[in-house]
Amino acid sequence: MAVGKVHYHADCYHVKETLEEIRDLFCQKINPLQAGRQQIGILVATINRIVFDRNVDPDFLKFVLEYYISNKPGVLHFPPGLYYAIQDKGANDAWSKLQEQKRQEQVKEMKNKISQDAPAVDDGFLDGLGGRSFVYKSVKQRGFDDILR
């Protein structure tokens, strides 16, 4: 992905954009006074430590921030509070539930794609097999004894 004269790997670009969204979201919704140069530095350093030093998924951090904005307004005031927010049981449970829903949707999409790509099957074939089961009958392999007979 090219931005100006800089080229990014797609995943790296996603991380960069997500971190910027987290910063902007924090400054707009959590603490508008965080817009000063020194305060932005503290915010960016905190976000970077959480994402890169603690290996927290930036999408999870963004989700937690949005969770706090909608479910716990006024609880989070300053950047170091993000360390506690990522450990919040309610936010972690909501994230797990969201990830499970995404996995189920992916499985459903894969099943639909497989069924669309599968060749048409003769209905008489399925009726002969009871509609659901598959019967396998092994074929006797010819061996050395069969050659002598």
Q: What share of the chain has pLDDT > 90, as a percent?
A: 46
Three-state helix/strand/coil letters over the chain? CEECCEECCHHHHHHHHHHHHHHHHHHHHHCHHHHCHHHHHHHHHHHHHHHHHCCCCHHHHHHHHHHHHHHCCCCCCCCCHHHHHCCCHHHHHHHHHHHHHHHHHHHHHHHHHHHHHCCCCCHHHHHHCCCCCCCCCCCCCCCHHHHHC
Domain boundaries, the chain: 1-87, 89-133
Please tell me the pTM assigned to this model. Answer: 0.68
Confidence of residue 136 (pLDDT cuts 50, 70, 90): low
Is 60 exceeded by the pLDDT of residue 121?
no
pLDDT of 21: 95
Q: What is the pLDDT of residues 49-79, one digit of tens each?
A: 999 999 999 999 999 999 999 998 888 888 8
